Amino acid sequence: MRESTGEWFVSSRGSGGMLNQLRHQICTSTGASNGQIMDRVIGLVKKYDKVDVSKVTETADFQKDLSLDSLDRVELVMAIEEEFSIEIPDEKADKLTCCADVAKYIASGSGSSITKS
């Protein structure tokens, strides 16, 4: 058992099987529908000053359509991780190119849950 330090940490119980299932159920069944997940993701993207909010759609490419550079995309992934209390591995984050990809990833339960001690 880990002492409470007030810091965020990734749960070390298994490779996330049970925690991912629980997070998936909370996110999609009892907590948020796919549409609500999408709305939250789009809302996060629209918060960036560099982004023309009129161009933000489910399928707008972060780099090509919204002109987010690599640092912007890293910051966006961090904001998504915080918003949904998940951790997205770098190799997966690189493949999330639009809001639809992000929402699908979150709804699938693929992210590792983060717990606060």
Segment 59-82, tens digit of pLDDT: 999 999 999 999 999 999 999 999
Let me know if residue 22 belongs to a domain. yes
Q: What is the signed CA dihedral for 85, 104, 22, 86, rounded to 10 degrees? A: -20
pLDDT in tens, 25-60: 444 443 568 899 999 999 999 999 999 999 999 999
Does position 13 have pLDDT exceeding 50, yes or no? no
Let me know if residue 83 belongs to a domain. yes
Asked if 113 and 19 touch (Cβ cutoff 8 Å), the reply is yes
* Token digits of residue 36: 């609500």
69 is an active site residue: yes
Catalytic one of 39, 61, 69, 94: 69
- The arithmetic mean of pLDDT across residues 87-111, rounded, is 93
Q: How many domains does the chain have?
A: 1
Domain interval for residue 77? 8-116
**Which is nearest to 104 in space by CA: 16, 27, 44, 51?**
27
CATH code, domain with 86: 1.10.1200.10
Let me know if residue 99 belongs to a domain. yes
Let me know if residue 74 belongs to a domain. yes
Let me know if residue 2 belongs to a domain. no
> 17 pLDDT band (50/70/90 cuts)?
low
CA distances (Å), 37 to each of 2, 108, 113, in order? Answer: 31, 11, 16
